[in-house]
Amino acid sequence: MTHRSKFSALLITMLALFAVPANAQETGEGGEKRTRLILGPQLAPSWPGADKFSVGPYVDFSRTRDDEFVFEAPDESLGSPLIRSGKFAFGPAVGFIGKRKATDIGADLPKVGFSVEAGAFTQVHLTPALRLRVEGRKALSGHKGWVGEVTADYVARQGDDWLFSIGPRVTLGDAKYHRAYFGVTPAAAATSGLAAYDPGGGIQSVGVTAGYHRMLGKRWGIAVYGRYDRLVGDAADSPVTRELGSRSQPSGGIALSYTFGGR
């Protein structure tokens, strides 16, 4: 997860979703096509390690010809499988992180621009109720580093009537990513009053996510999720985190869903 961006990412997200080829998120060969759009607000840390929160878009877009939609975790990055083979899937992944300015964080630290991250994911369903997913993304702007996530989800469902999922999260970042958000150069130490700090790459946080979707009728439904991450390692030990941020990184969202097509 992904730390979500502010509303400035909503247009980018929606354009990316609807730019997907018509069959990119479909499964199956027969049956009538159905499309489901989930849209609402979510609250998340404004940047990695922040103790401030921003409201952003909680968006999901799925298509299927099967009896039920394929499971997607509520906190996974934007993207859909390009390749499916049995229980395996592979595809692109896109993430966003809002910019961090010195005035936002309350210290004279370098600005980290709005980050657009592009990469890929692979996932496997070990059983119908257990999915593992690994994701890696490279920032094309902003922090310019590599980030990754390893997740597992247990899924209980009754078709599309209701679905509950829960599972652990491990978030990783390389040294460039960690230096952008958690590092303090000697020059920045002189102007900010923080101790100089040069973090390396590795595990940034561990956490858990739970989500629930329930249909309220034939077309409308409601989706909610909650996530909690705890910074560890170099990210947790940073003076930026200890003096200006928080090791606790909760997030959550609520949204309405609408299903098009079908009978």
Q: How high is the pLDDT of residue 30? A: 57
Asked whether residue 29 is assigned to any structural domain, the reply reads yes
Rounded Cα gap, residues 245 and 53, in angstroms = 11
Mean pLDDT of 169-196: 97
CATH number at residue 75: 2.40.160
Does a structural domain hold residue 157? Answer: yes
In a domain, 2, yes or no: no
The residue range of the domain holding 120 is: 7-261
Rounded to an integer, the average pLDDT of 44-71 is 92
Residue 203 pLDDT: 98
Locate 192 and state its tokens. Answer: 């900010």
Q: What is the pTM of this model?
A: 0.86
C-alpha to C-alpha distance for 43 and 25, rounded to whole angstroms: 26
Instruction: Round the average pLDDT of the chain to a whole number and report it.
Output: 89
Lowest mean pLDDT among 12-26, 30-44, 193-207, 215-229: 12-26
Cα separation values, 45 from 25, 39, 196, Å: 29, 19, 24
How many domains does the structure of the chain reveal? 1
With respect to residue 1, please indicate whether it lies within any of the assigned structural domains: no
**Is 109 inside any structural domain?**
yes
Please report, for residues 38, 112, 127, 204, 205, the alpha-carbon distance to residue 201 in angstroms, rounded to integers and kept in the order given: 35, 18, 33, 8, 12
Q: Between these two residues, 262 and 164, which has the higher pLDDT value?
A: 164
